[in-house]
């Protein structure tokens, strides 16, 4: 699991909630994608 506090702090330092949401969405999709790939292998 991703530490939400770390993601929030990292996003806030760069600024912008829209960017935060998009980055989190991409990050989540990537992590779940890697997780699924590893499980299927």
**Can you give the pLDDT at residue 2?**
60
User: Contact at 8 Å (CB) between 27 and 2?
Assistant: yes
Q: Where are the domains of the chain?
A: 4-40
Q: pLDDT 10s per residue in the chain (41 long)?
A: 566 666 666 555 555 667 678 888 888 888 877 766 666 54
Give the pLDDT score at 40.
57
Return the residue matching tokens 């990050």.
27
User: DSSP letter string over 1-41?
Assistant: ---HHHHHHHHHHH--HHHHHHHHHHHHHHHHHHHHHHHH-
24 within 8 A of 7, measured Cβ to Cβ: yes
């Amino acid at each position: 699991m991703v530490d939400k506090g770390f993601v929030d702090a990292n996003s806030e330092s760069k600024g912008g909630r829209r960017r935060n949401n998009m980055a989190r969405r991409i990050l989540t999709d990537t992590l779940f994608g890697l997780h699924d790939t590893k499980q299927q292998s």
